[in-house]
Amino acid sequence: MVRCFLIHTVCPVSALSAGESRVLYSRVFGPDDGVLSERHRDFSPEERRLLQKERVTAVARQVRSAISLSREASGRLIVETLPGEENLALQDADCGVVRLRAGDPFSEETSALWLGVQSLGFTLVCEPHENLLLAEGTLRNLTRHCLEHLHMLGQGSEVLLKSNRIDVLLSRLLPHGQLLFLNHRFAQSLEKEVAAYMAK
Amino acid sequence: MYSHASESLIKQAREIQESELQKFYSRLMKMLQGKELGHDTVDSLQRLHLILSATKYTRTLPLELQKRFVALLSSPAEQHQVLSTAVLRETLPLTGQELNYNQDNLGQLNSHAAGLLLSQAVSKGDLSSLCTQLLRNLESRPSEGPTHSLMHTLPVLNNVLTHSPECLSEDQMTLVSKKLVDWLRYASVMQGVGTSSGGFFTGPRSRQPVPIAELDGSVSGDFFTVLCVGQGFTEDQWMNVYSFSMLRHWLLTYHSSCSTVDAANRLQLSLSVSHSFSNDDRSEVDGSVVSMVSATSSSSRLLPPKERLREKAFQYCQRLIEQSDRKAHKKTDTELQKACLVEAVCILDCVCAEDASLVYRTFPCIKALFGRLSSELSNARVLLPIAQFYLNHGEMAAVDCENVWKVVFGRFPTELFNDPFLAHELLRFLRLNVESIELRVPQYTLYFPNLLKFLAWDSPAMVDDFVDLLPSMVTTGTAVELLHTLLDLPCLSATLVLQHRSTCLPISEPVGRSFVSLDAFRNPSFRGLFLFVLRTEAGSGDTIDRLSTLHELLVEAADWPRVTQCARTVPVLLHIFFNTIVTIADEKLLAHLILVMLERSSLLLNIPAYIKEIHRVFSCHLLRLCKLHPSLVVNQSHELLEFAGSTANVYSKEELYTHVVWVLGEYLSVSCDSRCSVSLITSCFEALEAVLFEITSSAPPTGTVCPAPKVINTLMSALAKLASRSHDLIPRVSLFLSKLRTVTRSGSVAWCSDEEDLVAIVTRGEELWSLLKAPGVAQSVLTPPPHVIAPQWHRDTNVALPLQLRALTSLTHSQ
């Protein structure tokens, strides 16, 4: 299962300290981590929500750090692409995976797959036994759709104001965090549904 | 991509005033009164969502508004469902009856509402109720109704299983197992009607039914799987996809490999074996065209549901493996075939663990797959689950696994060190199976030069895994070579960069910056050096003679980011190495390691902070080793003296020098090793005395700083300790110390820049001088015997007596 999907900044943000990342979209699948275990029984719902937000921010921070170190090592220059060149942006994107140890921040060990598209990062946090080949393909597909449907290569803020589109995208391609083995026909069918929703 | 506009939107959302927010709420309430939601309403709802989610502190909605959203959850329009779910997710759940998990209409939950319920579950009871409702819906579905409502059942179920496998009862597990069997094995083999923009519709079909096709276009000859295509899909074909997507997790959760559990289940379920003949079971309706896979399953009808699922899973995976050999028309499908292979092999591994008799049926297929894939590097990630299968079941099937390990340990790190996903998966495989690998793959410990390439290329991502794995790579046979390799990791990193550049840049292309190192890499006369660094296995030599040449060639690599990132990880790995080696090494090996430390302290790639850090690590562990085995000092006295007698080392390796002098002073004595002779002590004394004279009589050489007071103090203390063991030397020490006092009385000195430091040195000198005036006492004070410094409590007769008296007194005066 996928634990969560995030879209976050990997460029410096003036309002934040260096190394911090602004989370633009986050979706955690399933009940709260640790809510069913003994130690979190005493937390109020507000505290649990706060903890979950902090966990998501912790993941974003770690991925941001991984992306900047990876870019520093490879010495590649980040080229801004224009709207309409989503496929090129995706081709140029760097990718990798971060091992998140048990407790940091989820109670069990997880793997955070990331895709760095210019100044933004797209991250999928998976359970350790997950099929990472499938996860990688799914992440690329999700990223492509987000870039296209939310016009993310431009200067707009649709990722913040039209997040319901990402919700629908996830409900088809990653329902409740389930990675799906979709051949091109199944994928087409689902993408048609998503496109129909976006057109409204 | 990320603009000022977005940043200011978030700021506004966070800083919205309470009064403005309340106004917004009442405006929204009015907008939501109507049945339809216009564009303005949708925009406002999105803004509400932004306001709620932009801050980590929870805002509460007015009760009426929240209730309205709850009502919207069950609206037939998806947009309503999505927007209300998004808003409710960011607020606290209502404590009233509105979202009761036991409601009957939960069965009609749409996917978004189900997701919301799932995320707000706070107890296992909540999850159990949710499961019960979903499964009830599954069992008794109305014939009309939107078919999509079934599809989210399996993903939600799978999510629940991740957090709480006990939520399903035995009966529920049986039900799901049977459904999974039906969907996996007996889904329709005819294409569904082509979809339009809505859901499926059950109108009269205008064409003849067409059979499903394979990915290469040919007509399918066996049951439906995720690698089959059609113009449209029937509902059970969709469920086939969802079922396979969760199959591995289901098997891992509920199918234990304990055979006694299976036997008990079999007994229990033998009473209910009539279930398999119920109306729901479509095993009577087999496809008319049967391939090799299904032919062997004739008797599976009589198996209990769990075993039946296992058998069907086995068949499904075998079919997938067959299908993956076909050449798909689309690139995404080729990628899917690989992912399916990984999943299929993992599931086969799982079922074989459960039922060992399946191993003999499975191995030929896995072997053939390995043979087919091992030649192409692009299949590397598929070969890892195959390696896992060999590791788990190879011994049982008495199969030779040599080739597999040659590929995994020998080839992958050499050629694919820069693939982050492969690196992650391979190292994870090692971490999870390290005990099994140590047992069954003894040559694993020889492959560290190859495996370290992953770390040298991408240190930040890999260091965590190596912190866990390094102890397994430390053996007494390869320890020295491993130490040399760790110290030269930055060289490995630089070499890999050069190799990478060499393959990317054609030889004739002029390079912008001067790449002396790249030329050297391509120069045949230096080939041997680089080949040694890039070797795949240990055993051909601890290190090379021309190491200094290699360092000179790579001098410009010292500021390459990859190399500096790698250099930062070496100290922590060295700590782990030494911590591990002390538990298994004998004194001879430890002595050898000390020699390596002394030798390499001047033979490191010149990255400024790196050399200093390594010296610090060496100092720490030299101390530790000598403390554990004091006789090492006498054993290696020759080399230690050579090091300590060289004045240049005071300036270039201050920290390490200080520690060498300290261990000499502390452990060069008869009480540590009976072979310590008077002449040894005297020669050590003379060497240290000479250095001390030299550094306190002149300014430091140009380009270096004055030696820290710690060095001088340590030298003086060492001399005093040695003198206390051989009293003839005391006059010489006293002479030096008095001279020191005279010299410093006249004011500043060239070899010490700070006045306070000078005072500290002189004070120490005077303490030692007065101590040496009483030679008998000096030895016990400067080098206390172990039983004095180790607390002994009641075992110490001096301490015990008062304790005993006190105990007796309290006993006799009990009133």
Question: How near does any CA of chain A get to the CA of B427, in Å?
Answer: 11
Closest-CA distance, A185 to chain B, in angstroms, reads 6
Q: Which of A101, A184, A188, A191 to mutate to test the interface with B (most CBs of B within 10 A)?
A: A184
Does residue B787 share a domain with residue B730? Answer: yes
Q: What pLDDT score does B739 carry? A: 86
Kindly state the DSSP code that residue B701 receives in the 8-state scheme. P
Q: Please, which residues 656-695 of chain B have a Cβ atom closer than 8 Å to chain A?
A: none
The residue ranking higher by pLDDT, B434 or B191, is B434
Of B53, B704, B233, B265, the C-alpha closest to A23 is: B53
Tell me: the pLDDT tens digits for B709-764?
999 999 999 999 999 998 899 999 988 888 888 887 877 788 888 888 888 898 99
Of B122, B159, B330, the CB nearest to A1: B159
Picking from B1, B234, B334, B498 by the largest number of A CB atoms within 10 A of its own CB, the best residue to mutate is: B1
CA A186 to chain B, closest CA, distance in angstroms equals 8
- B786 pLDDT band, cuts 50/70/90, is confident
Output the DSSP codes for B57-124.
Answer: SPPPPPHHHHHHHHHHTT-SSHHHHHHHHHHHHTSPPPSSSTT-TT-GGGGG--HHHHHHHHHT--SH
Which chain B residues touch A72 with a CB distance below 8 Å? 561, 565
Do B44 and B171 lie in one domain? The reply is: no
* Same structural domain, B608 and B680: no
pLDDT at B506: 64
Note the pTM of the prediction, 2 decimals.
Answer: 0.89
Which among B389, B341, B342 is positioned nearest to B363, based on CA atoms? B389
Q: Are the Cβ atoms of A137 and B339 closer than 8 angstroms?
A: yes
Nearest CA in chain B to A69: B460
- Verify whether the Cβ–Cβ distance A168 to B82 is below 8 Å: yes
Domain residues for A186?
A: 2-199
SS3 (DSSP) at B221: coil
Say if the Cβ atoms of B420 and A97 lie within 8 Å.
yes
pLDDT at B265: 47
Q: What does residue A46 show for φ and ψ, rounded to 5 degrees?
A: -65, -45
Q: Residue B19: which residues within 8 A CB-CB, separation 6 or more?
A: none
Output the pLDDT for position B700.
87
Among A45, A96, A178, beta carbon nearest to B420: A96
Locus of tokens 């689950």: B385
| B171-184: pLDDT as tens digits | 999 999 999 999 99
The pLDDT value given to residue B97: 45
Q: What is the average per-residue pLDDT within B3-16?
A: 89
Q: Of B25-39, B200-214, B394-408, which one has max mean pLDDT?
A: B394-408
Whether B8 and chain A come into contact, CB under 8 Å, resolves to: no
Q: Give the nearest chain A residue to B194 (CA atoms).
A: A189
Quick check: A184 and B333 CB within 8 A? yes
Q: Which residues of A touch B343 (CB under 8 A)?
A: 131, 134, 181
Report CB contact under 8 Å: B3, A155.
yes
B231 vs A contacts (CB less than 8 Å)? 185
Query: What CATH number does the domain containing A51 carry?
Result: 3.30.450.60
pLDDT tens digits, residue range A12-49?
Answer: 888 888 889 999 999 999 888 777 766 666 778 888 88
Alpha-carbon gap: A41 to the closest alpha carbon of chain B (Å): 9
Does B183 lie at the interface with A, CB-CB under 8 angstroms?
A: no
pLDDT confidence band for B814 (50 / 70 / 90): low
Question: Closest to A95 (Cβ–Cβ): which among B92, B115, B420?
Answer: B420
B512 to chain A, any CB pair closer than 8 A? The answer is no
* Range(s) of the domain holding residue B340: 121-137+150-191+211-257+304-354
B residues 556-595 closer than 8 Å to A (CB): 561-562, 565
Percent of chain B with pLDDT over 90: 54
For B103, B363, B370, B389, B427, the CA distances from B401, given in Å and listed in that order, are 56, 12, 11, 10, 19
**Residue B400 domain-assigned?**
no
For A113-166, the pLDDT digits (tens) are: 999 999 999 999 999 889 999 999 999 999 999 999 999 888 888 889 999 999
B378–chain A Cβ distance below 8 A for any pair: no
Question: Is position B156 within any domain?
Answer: yes
Cβ-nearest to B119 among A28, A133, A136: A28
- As a whole number, mean pLDDT of residues B440-444 equals 93
Mean of the pLDDT values across residues B781-803?
Answer: 74
Q: Residue B103 — pLDDT band, cuts 50, 70, 90? A: low
Residue at B430 is within a domain? no
Whole-number Å distance between alpha carbons of B154 and B245: 9
| Predicted pLDDT of residue B209 | 81
Nearest neighbour of A178 by CB, restricted to B56, B245, B458: B245
Task: Judge: A24–B2 Cβ closer than 8 Å, yes or no.
Answer: yes
- The verdict on whether omega for the bond into residue A105 sits within 30 degrees of 0, i.e. cis, is yes
The pLDDT mean for chain A works out to 91
Of residues B218 and B148, more confidently modeled: B218
| Two tokens, residue B741 | 């006092």
Does B583 lie in the same domain as B456? yes
Sign of the C-alpha dihedral computed for residues B224, B227, B233 and B238 taken in this order:
positive
DSSP structure class, residue B545:
T
Q: Which residue has the higher pLDDT, B104 or B50?
A: B50
Q: Which of residues 13-42 of B touch A (CB under 8 A)?
A: none
Number of structural domains chain A divides into: 1
Contact B54, B10 (CB under 8 A): yes
In sequence order, the 6+-apart residues with CB closer than 8 A to the CB of A147 are A86, A89, A90, A117, A153
B173 and B64 in a common domain: no
User: Shortest Cα distance from A160 to chain B (angstroms)?
Assistant: 7
Chain A touched by B614 (CB under 8 Å): no
A54 backbone dihedrals φ, ψ, rounded to 5°: -65, -40
Per-residue pLDDT at B206 exceeds 60: no
Within a domain: residue B424?
no
**Pair of tokens at residue B312:** 């069907």
Domain-embedded: residue B87: yes
Residue B402: both structure tokens together: 């040599």
Q: What's the gap in Å between the CA of A196 and the closest CA on chain B? A: 7
Rounded to whole angstroms, what are the CA distances from B684 to B633, B643, B667, B670, B714?
12, 11, 12, 14, 14
Cα B668 to Cα B82: distance, rounded to the nearest angstrom: 78
Instruction: Tell how far CA B802 is from the center of its chain.
Output: 55
pLDDT of amino acid B105: 55
CA distances from B30 to B9, B45, B60, B98, B727 (A): 24, 12, 18, 21, 101
Whether the CB of B504 is below 8 Å from some CB of chain A: the reply is no
Structural Rg of chain A based on CA atoms: 17
Would residue B198 count as lying in a domain?
no
Q: How many CB atoms lie within 10 A of CB B698?
A: 11
Report ipTM (2 d.p.).
0.96
Of A171, A140, A146, residue with least CA distance to B156: A171
CA angle B606, B607, B609 (to 5 degrees): 130
Residues B621 and B729 in one domain: no
| The last residue of a domain, from among B606, B628, B650 | B628
B49, B164: one domain: no
d(CA B666, CA B718): 7
Indicate the pLDDT class of residue B802, thresholds 50, 70 and 90: confident
Residue of chain B whose alpha carbon sits nearest to that of A140: B332
User: How many helices (H) does chain A have, and how many strands (E)?
Assistant: 6, 5
Amino acid type, B796:
D
Q: Select from B2, B11, B56 the Cβ nearest to the Cβ of A53.
A: B56
Look at residue B646 and tell me if it is in a domain. Answer: no
Q: Annotate A87-115 with DSSP letters as a single string.
A: HHHHHH-EEEEEEEPTTSSSSS-EEEEEE
pLDDT at B107 over 70: no
Token pair, residue B609, equals 């902070």
Neighbours of A86 (CB within 10 A): 21
Chain A hits for B461, CB-CB cut-off 8 Å, are 66, 69-70, 96-99
State the DSSP code for B699.
P
Taking residues B553-571, report their average pLDDT.
94
B125 and B89 assigned to the same domain? no
Q: Do B50 and A160 touch (CB under 8 A)?
A: yes
B155 vs A167, A175, A200: nearest CB: A175
Contact B421 A54 (CB under 8 A): no
pLDDT of residue B300 exceeding 60 = no
- How many domains is chain B partitioned into structurally? 4
Instruction: Spell out which residues of chain A touch residue B99, defining contact as CB-CB under 8 Å.
Output: none
How many CB contacts within 8 angstroms connect chain A with chain B?
242
What pLDDT was estimated at residue A130?
92
- For B342, the closest chain A residue by CA position comes to A131
B281 part of a folded domain: no
Strands (E), B279-394: none
pLDDT band of B133, cuts 50, 70, 90: confident
Whether B213 contacts chain A with CB within 8 A:
no
B336 touches chain A (CB under 8 A): yes
pLDDT at residue number A16: 86
pLDDT digits (tens, 9 = 90+) for B579-628: 999 999 999 999 999 999 999 999 999 997 999 999 999 999 999 999 99
Q: Is the pLDDT of residue A100 over 90?
A: yes
Task: Note the pLDDT of residue A40.
Answer: 61
pLDDT tier for residue B138 given thresholds of 50, 70 and 90? confident
Residues 246-275 of B with CB under 8 A from A: 246, 248-249, 252
Q: Do B119 and A30 touch, CB atoms closer than 8 A?
A: yes
